Amino acid sequence: MSENVSNKKTSSFFLDIFPMALSWSVIFVFGVINIVGIISGKIEGNIWLALFKLMPTLFSPVIIMMIAHAKRVSFFFASLNSLLYGINYLIEGLYFSFFTAACISMPVQMYSFISWTKNAKKKGNGEVTMKAFSPKRYPIILGVIGVAWVVCYFVIGDLIPGQNYKLLDTLSFVFSMAATFLMTARHVEAQYINVASNSIGTTMWVLIAINDMSRFNYVVNTVYNLYVALRGSVIWTRRYHISQELDGKDSKNSCAKPAKVE
């Protein structure tokens, strides 16, 4: 028994704590380098603005790992952090990302916190019930995402002047929105779509950082987000199968004939 507990702690350290600490440390170091460069005059910029841009990237590693482990309170903190990200995206001229973070993700994350809390109370054991779509519905989901991207890229995108990285920004937008709404409904597919969203986001921020290394902390953040999305896919799928097994047992117990009272 003690050996199993020890193995779980070791696994948790290498799969969760170590990557989170590494990501946080790299983001912090590059943030400090950027701030020191501004103070010394080697880098142009405002120190207070640099500190503000650093804040959400420092909070994110902890929050998204909590989401990967299906912790309800993580959505509350994610909602607040989405507002910080939204303001930063607006500063960068990433208008679709701004709209995603501040106008959609923020309220939806708060709704997710409320919805997950209600579901956990309904179950009575503090755990939420995970759900999954039938594979037959996957083409429909991808089709909806595809239509949404066409509208964002060819219709809405042309109406926004000064839009940077429109292709990647709009793709990241539609995948991120799909993942956000599916998380609210506790669907495991949310994490699969989240993998695609973070892959696109990583590519976009790498291109941005090539021209401005002060944005490298966002690259580190998106790479870590991609890893956690992959980790979350495994955890949420496992939680779904556990939920199915428990529901199956409850169904059998409810269908069992009551004992005869003498």
Residue found under tokens 């993942």: 179
Q: What is the mean pLDDT of residues 148-174?
A: 80
In sequence order, the 6+-apart residues with CB closer than 8 A to the CB of 16 are 65, 69, 231
pLDDT of residue 249: 57
Q: Which has more confidence, 14 or 254?
A: 14
Task: Provide the token pair at 125.
Answer: 């054991």
- Spatial CA neighbour of 130 closest among 250, 237, 23: 237
Angle between helices 47-68 and 216-255 (to 10 degrees): 30
Contact criterion met (CB below 8 Å) for 219 and 23: no
Give me the residues paired with residue 131 across strands.
Answer: 187
Q: Are 74 and 36 in contact (CB under 8 A)?
A: no
Of the two residues 248 and 39, the one the predictor is more confident about is 39
Structure tokens at 199: 């892959």
pLDDT(260) > 60: no
Judge contact between 96 and 173, C-beta under 8 A.
Answer: yes
pLDDT digits (tens, 9 = 90+) for 174-208: 998 899 899 999 999 999 999 999 999 999 989 88
Q: Helix, strand, coil shares of the chain as percentages rounded to 5?
A: 85, 0, 15
- 14 contact partners, CB below 8 Å, separation of at least 6: none
**pLDDT tens-digit series, residues 100-130:** 788 888 999 999 999 999 888 876 666 788 8
Confidence of residue 16 (pLDDT cuts 50, 70, 90): confident
* Residue 151 in tokens: 């509208």
